[in-house]
Homo-oligomer: A and B are copies of this chain.
Amino acid sequence: MKATAKAHTNIALIKYWGKRDESLILPMNNSLSLTLDGFYTTTTVTFKEKLSEDIFYLNDHLITGEQYNRVTKFLDIIRSYAQRSNLYAEVSSINHVPTAAGFASSASGFAALAAAATRALNMQISEQELSKITRRGSGSACRSIYGGFVEWEQGMKDDGSDSYAVQLVSNDHWDVRVAAVVLSATEKKVSSREGMKRTVDTSPFYTSWVNSIPNDLTQIKQAIQDRDFEKVGQIAEANCLKMHATTLGANPPFTYWHDTTMSVMQEVRAMRDRGVPAFFTIDAGPNVKVLYLPEHETTVQKTLREIHGVNDVIVSRSGQGITYL
């Protein structure tokens, strides 16, 4: 009744932005990500007959409140699935995702938790089934079950049974690098959950965003197969800009960008003008992730570190999916 799993976070190149079902976490569009080796969560789950409630440690600290509630509600889903409704767990997670890096640790966190909990209960499930369960904890986490390039298929069914991630190519298909650019100013006034909802409900641009996804996906999937870096980068960067455009049309309008976010975008464009193929993508926060190829690692890192307002640059390679320890 004890298991330990490790999951990496992932960066979306075609963004997940908006839910069609808030409760089941069903998205409005397919998304596509790269799993990153630099950021991960290791989680041990031990189910114990004598416990009367779950216990959750994060980085060796006992967690209560909202963060605890989210974990225990997710364990309820797994318990219900396993028909073990009165069995509680001790959960211990170690996060190797610096919050300041602007990666949602929820992706690696819920993927590792789902994997460890289902394994601890000795549930015999496929990775696809695991991805579906993980989705209920955090949408983008369902992509972290797999390594390399991964697509989350939105699915059509109301019960979410066809909404899960699939691996497109494994992490050894292509050595693409991602630099996470950590900014000094990381204040975020609108959570990604709230931002998505406000955008879906009020932005006149939202429908056009959703309608533009299938073409982006078709193109980027071909470019990934072809290892066409310029094309992957261009599609990812344009997709990110479209996503952020939708927030500017919301009511009230909002943006996740800071002045330094803009400085990094400018500098990435300037690198391209100087012949260094680098492309940016930005999630629901001010930090920027920069895609590049191994041969440009020195240049890209140096250039990014010199930008005023940049605190740190953390490099990742294409990472693996779930591993059990």
- In the bound complex, CA of A174 to CA of B211 (Å): 44
* Closest B residue by C-beta to A253: B241
A282, chain B: closest CB distance, angstroms: 11
Interface residue from B237, B249, B263 paired with A259 (Cβ < 8 Å): B263
Q: Which chain B residues lie closer than 8 Å to A241 at the CB level?
A: 248-249, 253, 255
Interface residues of A in 178-218 (CB under 8 A from B): 204-205, 207-209, 211-212
Q: Mark A260-283, 1 if CB is under 8 A from B, else 0.
A: 111100100000000000000000
Cβ of A65 under 8 Å from chain B: no
Interface residue from B209, B251, B252, B257 paired with A262 (Cβ < 8 Å): B257
Secondary structure dominating the interface of A:
helix
Interface residue from B238, B259, B260, B262 paired with A253 (Cβ < 8 Å): B238
- In the bound complex, CA of A253 to CA of B248 (Å): 15
A22, chain B: closest CB distance, angstroms: 24
Cβ of A79 under 8 Å from chain B: no
A252, chain B: closest CB distance, angstroms: 7
Greatest chain B CB density within 10 A among A245, A258, A260, A262 is at A245
Contact A251–B263 (Cβ < 8 Å): no
Q: Which chain B residues lie closer than 8 Å to A177 at the CB level?
A: none
- In the bound complex, CA of A258 to CA of B237 (Å): 17
Contact B237–A253 (Cβ < 8 Å): yes
Cβ of A163 under 8 Å from chain B: no
- In the bound complex, CA of A253 to CA of B245 (Å): 11
Contact A252–B266 (Cβ < 8 Å): no
Contact A266–B258 (Cβ < 8 Å): yes
- In the bound complex, CA of A149 to CA of B207 (Å): 33
Interface residues of A in 224-261 (CB under 8 A from B): 234, 237-238, 241-242, 244-246, 248-249, 251-253, 255, 257-261
Interface residue from B204, B238, B259 paired with A211 (Cβ < 8 Å): B204
Q: Which chain B residues lie closer than 8 Å to A260 at the CB level?
A: 259
Q: Which chain B residues lie closer than 8 Å to A253 at the CB level?
A: 237-238, 241-242
Contact B262–A261 (Cβ < 8 Å): yes
Q: Which chain B residues lie closer than 8 Å to A244 at the CB level?
A: 248
- In the bound complex, CA of A311 to CA of B245 (Å): 28
Contact B259–A248 (Cβ < 8 Å): no
Greatest chain B CB density within 10 A among A212, A237, A242 is at A242
Q: Which chain B residues lie closer than 8 Å to A205 at the CB level?
A: 204-205, 208, 242, 245, 249
A165, chain B: closest CB distance, angstroms: 26
- Identify 15 residue pairs between A and B in the complex whose beta-carbon atoms are under 8 Å apart, listed by A's number: A204-B208, A204-B212, A205-B242, A207-B208, A212-B249, A237-B253, A238-B252, A238-B253, A241-B253, A242-B249, A242-B253, A245-B248, A258-B266, A261-B262, A262-B262
Q: A205-B208, A241-B253 are in contact. List 5 more A-B contacts (CB 8 A).
A: A204-B211, A205-B205, A238-B251, A259-B266, A261-B262
